[in-house]
Structure 1
Amino acid sequence: MATLQSLDPHTPMFAQFKEETGPIVLANTFVVPAEKTEAFLALFRRQAEFMKAQPGFVSLRMHRGTAGSRLLMNIATWESTEALAKAFGSPEFQRMAAEFPDDVVFYPHVFEQIDA
Protein backbone atom coordinates (compact mmCIF):
# COMPACT_ATOMS: atom_id res chain seq x y z
CA MET A 1 0.00 0.00 0.00
CA ALA A 2 1.21 3.50 -0.83
CA THR A 3 2.40 5.89 1.85
CA LEU A 4 0.17 8.81 2.85
CA GLN A 5 2.10 11.90 4.02
CA SER A 6 0.82 15.25 5.26
CA LEU A 7 1.73 18.17 3.05
CA ASP A 8 1.34 20.37 6.14
CA PRO A 9 2.36 18.42 9.28
CA HIS A 10 0.32 20.83 11.42
CA THR A 11 -2.89 19.90 9.60
CA PRO A 12 -3.07 16.24 8.61
CA MET A 13 -5.68 15.26 6.02
CA PHE A 14 -7.85 13.35 8.47
CA ALA A 15 -8.01 16.43 10.73
CA GLN A 16 -9.11 18.42 7.68
CA PHE A 17 -12.00 15.98 7.14
CA LYS A 18 -13.45 17.13 10.48
CA GLU A 19 -13.70 20.75 9.26
CA GLU A 20 -17.24 21.25 7.95
CA THR A 21 -16.75 23.47 4.95
CA GLY A 22 -17.35 23.55 1.24
CA PRO A 23 -16.98 23.70 -1.58
CA ILE A 24 -13.45 22.38 -1.26
CA VAL A 25 -10.56 21.35 -3.48
CA LEU A 26 -8.45 18.28 -2.77
CA ALA A 27 -4.94 18.77 -4.18
CA ASN A 28 -3.21 15.40 -4.08
CA THR A 29 0.43 15.22 -5.19
CA PHE A 30 1.81 11.75 -5.94
CA VAL A 31 5.47 10.76 -6.17
CA VAL A 32 5.55 7.78 -8.54
CA PRO A 33 8.58 5.84 -9.77
CA ALA A 34 8.93 6.46 -13.52
CA GLU A 35 8.62 2.78 -14.42
CA LYS A 36 5.30 2.55 -12.54
CA THR A 37 3.59 5.65 -13.94
CA GLU A 38 1.37 3.90 -16.49
CA ALA A 39 0.22 1.23 -14.02
CA PHE A 40 -0.43 3.96 -11.44
CA LEU A 41 -2.52 5.96 -13.92
CA ALA A 42 -4.58 2.88 -14.87
CA LEU A 43 -5.44 2.29 -11.22
CA PHE A 44 -6.05 6.00 -10.64
CA ARG A 45 -8.54 6.05 -13.54
CA ARG A 46 -10.50 3.19 -11.94
CA GLN A 47 -10.49 5.05 -8.65
CA ALA A 48 -11.55 8.29 -10.39
CA GLU A 49 -14.57 6.57 -11.98
CA PHE A 50 -15.66 5.42 -8.54
CA MET A 51 -15.23 8.91 -7.06
CA LYS A 52 -17.14 10.56 -9.93
CA ALA A 53 -20.21 8.50 -8.96
CA GLN A 54 -20.12 9.60 -5.30
CA PRO A 55 -22.53 12.20 -3.87
CA GLY A 56 -20.90 15.61 -3.60
CA PHE A 57 -18.29 15.03 -6.33
CA VAL A 58 -17.89 18.00 -8.69
CA SER A 59 -14.80 17.52 -10.89
CA LEU A 60 -11.23 16.30 -11.13
CA ARG A 61 -8.14 16.79 -13.26
CA MET A 62 -4.84 14.92 -13.22
CA HIS A 63 -1.61 16.77 -14.04
CA ARG A 64 1.91 15.48 -14.78
CA GLY A 65 5.12 17.26 -13.79
CA THR A 66 7.31 18.43 -16.64
CA ALA A 67 10.95 17.77 -17.54
CA GLY A 68 10.96 14.14 -16.44
CA SER A 69 9.43 14.82 -13.04
CA ARG A 70 8.08 11.85 -11.08
CA LEU A 71 5.21 14.00 -9.75
CA LEU A 72 1.56 13.72 -10.65
CA MET A 73 -1.11 15.96 -9.13
CA ASN A 74 -4.85 15.43 -8.96
CA ILE A 75 -7.04 18.47 -8.36
CA ALA A 76 -10.57 17.41 -7.33
CA THR A 77 -13.47 19.65 -6.37
CA TRP A 78 -16.10 18.46 -3.88
CA GLU A 79 -19.23 20.09 -2.49
CA SER A 80 -17.98 19.58 1.08
CA THR A 81 -15.37 17.95 3.28
CA GLU A 82 -18.14 15.65 4.53
CA ALA A 83 -18.78 14.31 1.00
CA LEU A 84 -15.07 13.79 0.36
CA ALA A 85 -14.53 12.07 3.72
CA LYS A 86 -17.47 9.72 3.15
CA ALA A 87 -16.21 8.73 -0.32
CA PHE A 88 -12.64 8.35 0.92
CA GLY A 89 -13.73 6.16 3.83
CA SER A 90 -15.86 3.80 1.76
CA PRO A 91 -14.70 0.17 1.73
CA GLU A 92 -14.56 0.09 -2.08
CA PHE A 93 -12.29 3.14 -2.24
CA GLN A 94 -10.07 1.72 0.51
CA ARG A 95 -9.72 -1.58 -1.40
CA MET A 96 -8.56 0.30 -4.50
CA ALA A 97 -6.21 2.51 -2.46
CA ALA A 98 -4.57 -0.62 -1.02
CA GLU A 99 -3.61 -1.68 -4.56
CA PHE A 100 -1.16 1.20 -5.05
CA PRO A 101 2.49 0.06 -4.78
CA ASP A 102 4.46 0.63 -1.59
CA ASP A 103 6.91 2.96 -3.31
CA VAL A 104 4.23 5.53 -4.23
CA VAL A 105 3.81 8.47 -1.84
CA PHE A 106 0.64 10.60 -1.62
CA TYR A 107 0.56 14.19 -0.29
CA PRO A 108 -3.14 15.16 -0.08
CA HIS A 109 -4.38 18.47 1.25
CA VAL A 110 -7.81 20.10 1.37
CA PHE A 111 -8.25 23.76 0.38
CA GLU A 112 -11.11 26.20 0.29
CA GLN A 113 -11.27 29.11 -2.12
CA ILE A 114 -10.53 32.61 -0.92
CA ASP A 115 -10.82 35.90 -2.77
CA ALA A 116 -7.51 37.21 -4.06
Structure 2
Amino acid sequence: MAELQSLDPSTPLFAQFTQDTGPIVLANTFVVPPERTEAFLVLFRRQAEFMQAQPGFISLQMHKGAAGSRLLMNIAVWESTGALAAAFGSPEFQRLAAEFPDDIVSYPHIFERIDA
Protein backbone atom coordinates (compact mmCIF):
# COMPACT_ATOMS: atom_id res chain seq x y z
CA MET A 1 0.00 0.00 0.00
CA ALA A 2 1.24 3.52 -0.76
CA GLU A 3 2.50 5.49 2.20
CA LEU A 4 0.14 8.35 3.15
CA GLN A 5 1.82 11.58 4.28
CA SER A 6 0.34 14.95 5.21
CA LEU A 7 1.26 18.14 3.37
CA ASP A 8 0.17 20.00 6.50
CA PRO A 9 0.86 17.86 9.60
CA SER A 10 -1.54 19.99 11.65
CA THR A 11 -4.46 18.80 9.49
CA PRO A 12 -4.00 15.20 8.35
CA LEU A 13 -6.46 13.81 5.80
CA PHE A 14 -8.67 12.03 8.30
CA ALA A 15 -9.04 15.22 10.35
CA GLN A 16 -10.12 17.01 7.16
CA PHE A 17 -12.94 14.48 6.72
CA THR A 18 -14.51 15.70 9.98
CA GLN A 19 -15.37 19.12 8.53
CA ASP A 20 -18.63 18.87 6.61
CA THR A 21 -18.14 21.20 3.69
CA GLY A 22 -18.40 21.27 -0.07
CA PRO A 23 -17.83 21.38 -2.83
CA ILE A 24 -14.22 20.37 -2.22
CA VAL A 25 -11.10 19.62 -4.23
CA LEU A 26 -8.87 16.70 -3.34
CA ALA A 27 -5.32 17.38 -4.52
CA ASN A 28 -3.29 14.21 -4.16
CA THR A 29 0.39 14.37 -5.08
CA PHE A 30 2.15 11.05 -5.60
CA VAL A 31 5.90 10.45 -5.60
CA VAL A 32 6.39 7.53 -7.99
CA PRO A 33 9.69 5.87 -8.92
CA PRO A 34 10.19 6.37 -12.69
CA GLU A 35 10.23 2.64 -13.37
CA ARG A 36 6.81 2.28 -11.72
CA THR A 37 4.97 5.12 -13.49
CA GLU A 38 3.15 2.99 -16.08
CA ALA A 39 2.15 0.31 -13.55
CA PHE A 40 1.03 3.04 -11.13
CA LEU A 41 -1.18 4.61 -13.80
CA VAL A 42 -2.83 1.26 -14.56
CA LEU A 43 -3.72 0.86 -10.88
CA PHE A 44 -4.76 4.50 -10.59
CA ARG A 45 -7.15 4.20 -13.56
CA ARG A 46 -8.88 1.23 -11.91
CA GLN A 47 -9.23 3.23 -8.70
CA ALA A 48 -10.47 6.28 -10.65
CA GLU A 49 -13.17 4.21 -12.38
CA PHE A 50 -14.46 3.15 -8.98
CA MET A 51 -14.42 6.70 -7.60
CA GLN A 52 -16.17 8.15 -10.66
CA ALA A 53 -19.12 5.84 -9.98
CA GLN A 54 -19.52 7.01 -6.36
CA PRO A 55 -22.22 9.44 -5.19
CA GLY A 56 -20.92 13.00 -4.95
CA PHE A 57 -18.09 12.59 -7.44
CA ILE A 58 -17.84 15.52 -9.89
CA SER A 59 -14.56 15.35 -11.86
CA LEU A 60 -10.99 14.12 -11.92
CA GLN A 61 -7.77 15.03 -13.73
CA MET A 62 -4.30 13.50 -13.46
CA HIS A 63 -1.19 15.59 -14.08
CA LYS A 64 2.47 14.62 -14.49
CA GLY A 65 5.35 16.76 -13.30
CA ALA A 66 7.43 18.32 -16.06
CA ALA A 67 11.11 17.84 -16.89
CA GLY A 68 11.34 14.20 -15.77
CA SER A 69 9.75 14.80 -12.36
CA ARG A 70 8.70 11.76 -10.34
CA LEU A 71 5.50 13.57 -9.28
CA LEU A 72 1.97 12.82 -10.42
CA MET A 73 -0.97 14.88 -9.13
CA ASN A 74 -4.61 13.92 -9.08
CA ILE A 75 -7.12 16.77 -8.81
CA ALA A 76 -10.61 15.50 -7.96
CA VAL A 77 -13.72 17.58 -7.27
CA TRP A 78 -16.39 16.23 -4.94
CA GLU A 79 -19.74 17.60 -3.77
CA SER A 80 -18.68 17.31 -0.12
CA THR A 81 -16.16 15.95 2.33
CA GLY A 82 -18.81 13.43 3.40
CA ALA A 83 -19.11 12.02 -0.12
CA LEU A 84 -15.33 11.72 -0.45
CA ALA A 85 -14.99 10.16 3.01
CA ALA A 86 -17.69 7.58 2.23
CA ALA A 87 -15.98 6.61 -1.04
CA PHE A 88 -12.53 6.58 0.58
CA GLY A 89 -13.73 4.41 3.46
CA SER A 90 -15.49 1.83 1.30
CA PRO A 91 -14.06 -1.71 1.38
CA GLU A 92 -13.68 -1.71 -2.42
CA PHE A 93 -11.62 1.48 -2.42
CA GLN A 94 -9.47 0.17 0.42
CA ARG A 95 -8.88 -3.07 -1.51
CA LEU A 96 -7.82 -1.08 -4.59
CA ALA A 97 -5.60 1.24 -2.52
CA ALA A 98 -3.83 -1.77 -0.98
CA GLU A 99 -2.61 -2.76 -4.47
CA PHE A 100 -0.26 0.24 -4.73
CA PRO A 101 3.39 -0.64 -4.00
CA ASP A 102 4.94 0.44 -0.71
CA ASP A 103 7.54 2.64 -2.43
CA ILE A 104 4.90 5.14 -3.60
CA VAL A 105 4.20 8.10 -1.32
CA SER A 106 0.85 9.91 -1.43
CA TYR A 107 0.21 13.45 -0.14
CA PRO A 108 -3.59 13.96 -0.19
CA HIS A 109 -5.13 17.23 0.97
CA ILE A 110 -8.64 18.64 0.77
CA PHE A 111 -9.16 22.24 -0.34
CA GLU A 112 -12.14 24.59 -0.44
CA ARG A 113 -12.47 27.19 -3.16
CA ILE A 114 -12.12 30.80 -2.06
CA ASP A 115 -12.47 34.02 -3.96
CA ALA A 116 -9.09 35.58 -4.69
Q: Distance in 1 between matches of 2:9 and 2:93?
A: 24
**TM-score for the superposition, normalised by structure 1:** 1.00
Structure 2 counterpart of 1:50, which letter? F
Map 1:5-24; keep pairs closer than 5 Å.
5-24=5-24
Is the partner of 1:30 in helix, strand or coil? strand
Is the partner of 1:103 in helix, strand or coil? coil
Q: Which residue of 2 aligns with 1:92?
A: 92
Q: Deviations over 1:7-32 (max 9, x none)?
A: 10000000000000000000000000
Q: Which residue of 2 aligns with 1:80?
A: 80
Q: Distance in 2 between matches of 1:115 and 1:68?
A: 33
Instruction: Report the RMSD for the aligned CA atoms in angstroms.
Output: 0.3
Q: Distance in 1 between matches of 2:50 and 2:95?
A: 12
- Matched positions, count: 116
Is the partner of 1:88 in helix, strand or coil? helix
Map 1:1-116; keep pairs closer than 5 Å.
1-116=1-116
Q: Deviations over 1:58-114 (max 9, x none)?
A: 000000000000000000000000000000000000000000000000000000000
Q: Deviations over 1:42-69 (max 9, x none)?
A: 0000000000000000000000000000
Is the partner of 2:95 in helix, strand or coil? helix
Gaps of 5+ in 1: none
Q: Which aligned segments of 4 or more residues in structure 1 are displaced greater than 6 angstroms?
A: none
Gaps of 5+ in 2: none
Is the partner of 1:63 in helix, strand or coil? strand
Is the partner of 1:41 in helix, strand or coil? helix
**TM-score for the superposition, normalised by structure 2:** 1.00
Report sequence identity in percent: 81
